Amino acid sequence: MATQEARPLRADARRNRERVLDAARAVFADSGHEAQMDEIARRAAVGVGTVYRHFPTKDALLAALLADSFARIAANARAALDEPDAWQAFAGVLWFGAELLAANRGLTESLVAQPADCVLEHQLELRVAMGKVIGRAQAAGVLRPDMLVDDVPMLMCGIGAAFRKPHPCPGSWRRHLAIVLDGLRAPAATGPLPD
Amino acid sequence: MATQEARPLRADARRNRERVLDAARAVFADSGHEAQMDEIARRAAVGVGTVYRHFPTKDALLAALLADSFARIAANARAALDEPDAWQAFAGVLWFGAELLAANRGLTESLVAQPADCVLEHQLELRVAMGKVIGRAQAAGVLRPDMLVDDVPMLMCGIGAAFRKPHPCPGSWRRHLAIVLDGLRAPAATGPLPD
Amino acid sequence: MATQEARPLRADARRNRERVLDAARAVFADSGHEAQMDEIARRAAVGVGTVYRHFPTKDALLAALLADSFARIAANARAALDEPDAWQAFAGVLWFGAELLAANRGLTESLVAQPADCVLEHQLELRVAMGKVIGRAQAAGVLRPDMLVDDVPMLMCGIGAAFRKPHPCPGSWRRHLAIVLDGLRAPAATGPLPD
Amino acid sequence: MATQEARPLRADARRNRERVLDAARAVFADSGHEAQMDEIARRAAVGVGTVYRHFPTKDALLAALLADSFARIAANARAALDEPDAWQAFAGVLWFGAELLAANRGLTESLVAQPADCVLEHQLELRVAMGKVIGRAQAAGVLRPDMLVDDVPMLMCGIGAAFRKPHPCPGSWRRHLAIVLDGLRAPAATGPLPD
DNA sequence: TATGAATGAGCATTCATTCAT
DNA sequence: GATGAATGAATGCTCATTCAT
């Protein structure tokens, strides 16, 4: 989850690190990758230098945030394996992830962008956990058998359309996910694909 | 389709306009909004000044391209009303749009970004046509009744995940759309949404 | 001498390129590598962007200047081979180079710094020419036989001490070179070196 | 030698001061003026704050080091007055100074840079001592009569060319000094200077 | 007093847009 | 009209110095 908690930081440093992360979360959530470091610093009520003390580059800061989100989803996925209902387990993870995506433009962008190495690591972790959740649901016959783990990012992409302004309507991503879930539960019905 | 074709252009001007549009299409498709004007000009074998003569800003150029794409999809949607099978009509439009999205990063980004006024106009046109296609399918009982026109962009968003590198697999967006379509055909089955 | 004169530049572009080079020469001569790009642009009465249009980085600009200086000295060295007096030929090249060094802090710094590739090329050229000048003088018995081409930069380094402020006295570098030349003409007389 | 040893320091403070000086010596010797304060602190195994407690600015720290070096050379020069051979005395001081210069990029740079007041003081001290050494050698007729004390820095500048990478050859500065010394011993022979 | 986290002015570089040729 | 050189505001990052702990 965290990246350099190895050496314990001074109390004030840890507090500032959190302020920076919080500010960055907010700013990246609003503006995605085009967020500006000065804006993050201002929002954290901190000098730019402080931001850079904790994160060597803008991308590293964004990556830390993304890694954290992916780690949280991965944790959720692992926990889902204890849920008795295989479908509920699967759907629950998607709902959980969607909740995060719906509020975070940076995270949404990450579904389409080339991931940094440090993020990749956590995405892999998520991929593994999600793979198990998917496998179980497929084995139980409640999830369409042709679905792949790598389909998940695509299926979740639309969640972030919430950022389009003016919003169609605030919670519309819920209907989006509901539709996707319906499509996933049913056995493939669309028939042969074109081309 | 285009925005300032009102006054007829000299032959060579029209030719240049097309060159610019073609180049911009290619570059925006590859690089999305971060494409650079100089690159577009180079690709069009034209000076930057020429690009600016035809399109006052980068956003205007991108908008012209988007407007064109939306217009093409709108045309496809209008034509779909002649298709006897209401479901085929609906699905056909989505397949058509997906084909465009899958190859165009700029277009995909537009599903999430704030649309320019000039694009908005064409999106509205598309919205109207698509509304009819959707209404017909719902009236025929082949499309889930709670679906809204404004859900379409969200549902199509995932198509562009194809830009993520390394690609999961080249044609994966087809499976994505198939799943979505399955979710749309079935009557809502997921049950009450959380929260 | 020049770096990208391959494609002929527009008249105004060439003029600006010269302005930039002149300004850079002046600023680097005064401040060496710590000169600032904005200052160079201001001095050239040009936007920074123009500086960057002609030279991709600060180092490239400095390198172009250095390369030019080295090229000029190399040309002088080649011409010196036509001078009948082998000693005058040798001494003349040093006097010529010293004249440049005495007025140019950037050039002086380059005698100590790691040279960029593009400069290296011209230094090599100079090394070759200078090697011939030295060889001829040694063959004529007028230059101490143990001197190497690579000693030249060291011997010339002191010229730049002229930048030390307050100057000991404006033309003192002339006496410096005279002393060095005397040391070079005499057969080695100092006796065994310590250590 | 040092600048603020007036008031006696606590034992640990004095120890820290030495650690800082040692570290700074090493770092400035390697990197010259571009050395970073953090690097010096790290090398001294001390916080930056401690560095600043002992030396108010980076330049003050560098100056302290330079002052120390100049003081050592000055001491050497004073001692040289006891050497019976006036030439050996003179040459010996230069060899001693060269040894220091050859291993210290910061010191070498100081021969060209504007000296801080606190350094100036020690340079003056050196100037006085060196003046006597030079005067004696000139009186004895073993040193060219037109040489001035202020020529010394210029003559020694080349020593530092050893920092150029790749080094021409490790001990080449010895030949440089030998040549200079030969030039200095001989009566002026070069003839009238140009211009 | 020592520490090292915080600060923020400073600087190289980019790129959409303008305008002289 | 076309060209591409010029512009300069904007932005990520550095590092000497300060100051809270």
In the predicted structure, residue C195 carries a pLDDT above the cut 70: no
- B170 upstream amide cis, omega within 30 of 0: no
- C-alpha–C-alpha distance, residues B108 and A149, integer Å: 22
**Chain C contact for D148, CB < 8 A?**
yes
Phi, psi (5° rounding) for residue C5?
-80, 5
Q: In Å, how far from its chain's centre is CA C8?
A: 27
Chain D positions in Cβ-Cβ contact with residue C172 (cut-off 8 Å): 148, 150-151, 154
Residues 18-77 of C with CB under 7 A from strand F: 45-50, 52-54
pLDDT beyond 80 at C5? no
pLDDT tens by residue, B103-112:
898 998 888 7
Residues 16-35 (A) near nucleic chain E, CB < 7 A: 16-17
> Residue D4: which pLDDT band, with cuts at 50, 70 and 90?
very low
Q: What is the pLDDT of residues D96-109, one digit of tens each?
A: 999 999 889 899 88
Backbone φ, ψ for residue C139 (5° rounding) = -60, -35
pLDDT value of residue B183: 84
Tell me: pLDDT of C170 over 80.
Answer: no
SS3 C57: coil
The first and second tokens of residue C26, run together, are 């002046």
* Average pLDDT, rounded, for chain D: 86
Alpha-helical runs (H) found in chain A: 11-31, 37-44, 48-54, 58-80, 86-102, 105-110, 117-139, 151-157, 172-185
In this prediction, residues D39-68 reach a mean pLDDT of 94
CB C165 under 7 Å to nucleic chain F: no
State pLDDT tens for residues A10-43. 778 889 999 999 999 999 999 999 999 999 999 9
The answer to whether C59 CB is within 7 Å of strand E is yes
Cβ(B2)–Cβ(B64) under 8 Å?
Answer: yes
Worst-scoring range by mean pLDDT, A160-164, C23-27, D82-86? A160-164
Q: What's the mean pLDDT in D145-171?
A: 80
Query: Would you say residue A163 has pLDDT above 90?
Result: no
pLDDT exceeds cutoff 90 at A164: no
Confidence of residue A91 (pLDDT cuts 50, 70, 90): very high
Interchain contact D/B (3 or more Cβ pairs less than 8 Å): no
Lookup result for tokens 């990478």: D165
pLDDT for res D159: 86
Is B3's pLDDT higher than 50?
no
Classify burial at A11, counting beta carbons within 10 Å of its beta carbon; exposed 0-12, middle 13-18, buried 19 or more. Answer: exposed
Q: Which nucleotide is nearest to B41 (CA to C1')?
A: F4
Write the DSSP assignment of chain D as a string of letters.
--SS-SSPPPHHHHHHHHHHHHHHHHHHHHHGGG--HHHHHHHHTS-HHHHHHH-SSHHHHHHHHHHHHHHHHHHHHHHHTT-S-HHHHHHHHHHHHHHHHHT-HHHHHHTTSPPPHHHHHHHHHHHHHHHHHHHHHHHTT-S-TT--TTHHHHHHHGGGGGGSSS-S-TTHHHHHHHHHHHHHHSPP-S-SPP-
User: Above 80 in pLDDT, residue A151?
Assistant: yes
Q: Does C47 score more than 80 pLDDT?
A: yes
Q: Please, which pLDDT band fits residue A2 given cuts at 50, 70 and 90? A: very low
Residue C133 to chain D, least CA–CA distance (Å): 18
| Any A CB within 8 A of B185 CB | yes
Give the phi and the psi of residue B106 in degrees, each rounded to 5.
Answer: -60, -45
Helix (H, G, I), strand (E, B) or coil at B170: coil
- Per the CB < 8 A criterion, the answer to whether D183 and C180 are in contact is yes
- Judged by average pLDDT, the poorest of A2-16, C25-39, C112-126, D136-150 is A2-16
**In this model, does residue B78 exceed pLDDT 90?**
yes
Q: Tokens 């530049």 appear where?
A: C9
pLDDT at C3: 41
Return the residue in C180, C181, C195 with the most chain D beta carbons within 10 A, the one to mutate for interface testing.
Answer: C180
From the C1' of E21, which residue's alpha carbon is nearest? C12
C55 pLDDT above the threshold of 90: yes
Mean pLDDT of A145-153: 89
Model pLDDT, residue D70:
92
pLDDT tens, residue by residue, B129-153: 999 999 999 999 999 988 989 889 8
With tokens 């140019």, the residue in question is C104
Q: Does A131 touch chain B (CB under 8 A)?
A: no
Average pLDDT of the residues in D4-16: 67
pLDDT score at A116: 82
End-to-end CA distance of chain C: 43
Dihedral sign for Cα C88, C91, C94, C96, please: negative
| pLDDT average, residue stretch C161-177 | 75
Give the pLDDT mean for B48-67.
Answer: 94
Tell me the average pLDDT across A144-171. Answer: 80
Q: Considering the entire predicted model, what is its pTM?
A: 0.88
Query: What band does C167 get if pLDDT is binned at 50, 70 and 90?
Result: low
Could you check: is the Cβ of residue B37 within 7 Å of any atom of nucleic acid strand E?
yes
For chain D, give the longest Cα–Cα distance.
Answer: 60
The pLDDT-based confidence of B154 (bands split at 50, 70, 90) is: confident
The rounded mean pLDDT for chain C is 86
Q: Say yes or no: B6 contacts chain A, CB-CB below 8 A.
A: no
Q: What does the pLDDT read at residue B7?
A: 58
> Is the confidence at residue B190, as pLDDT, over 60?
no
Question: Is B4 a residue whose pLDDT tops 50?
Answer: no
My answer on whether omega of the bond before C166 falls inside 30° of 0, hence cis, is yes
pLDDT tens for A46-72 read 999 999 999 999 999 999 999 999 999
Q: Residue C161 has what DSSP assignment?
A: G
Percent of chain C with pLDDT over 90: 54
For residue A153, what are its two tokens?
């990012």
Has residue D168 got a pLDDT over 80?
no
Task: Calculate the angstrom distance between C1' of E16 and CA of C123.
Answer: 40
pLDDT for the residue numbered C159: 86
DSSP B49: H
What are C82-100's pLDDT values in tens digits? 999 999 999 999 999 999 9
Q: How far is the CA of C52 from the C1' of E12 (A)?
A: 10
User: Quick one: pLDDT at residue D88?
Assistant: 94
Q: Which amino acid is at B127?
A: R
CB contact under 8 A, C179 and D181: no
* Contact status, residue B100 vs residue B109, Cβ threshold 8 Å: no
Name the maximum alpha-carbon separation found in chain B: 60
Structural domains for chain B = 11-185 (1.10.357.10)
Q: Is the peptide bond before D166 cis (omega within 30 degrees of 0)?
A: yes
Are C and A touching by the rule of 3+ CB pairs within 8 Å? Answer: no
**What Cα–Cα distance (Å) separates residue B62 from each residue in B39, D161, D166?**
14, 56, 51
The C-alpha atoms of residue B115 and residue C91 are separated, in whole angstroms, by: 73
Rounded distance between C-alpha atoms, residue A163 and residue A43, angstroms = 21
Look at residue B159 and tell me whether its pLDDT is greater than 80: yes
**pLDDT band for position A131 (cuts 50, 70, 90):** very high
Residue length, chain C? 195
Query: What percent of chain D is modeled with pLDDT above 70?
Result: 86
CA dist D32 and D38 (Å) reads 14
Contact yes or no, A with D (3+ CB pairs under 8 Å): no
CA distance A163 to A109: 11
Query: What are the b/e assignments for D22-47, b being 16+ CB within 10 Å?
Result: ebbbbbbbeebeebebebbbebbebe
Q: Quick one: pLDDT band at residue D75, thresholds 50, 70, 90?
A: very high
Q: Which two tokens stand for residue A121?
A: 């690591």
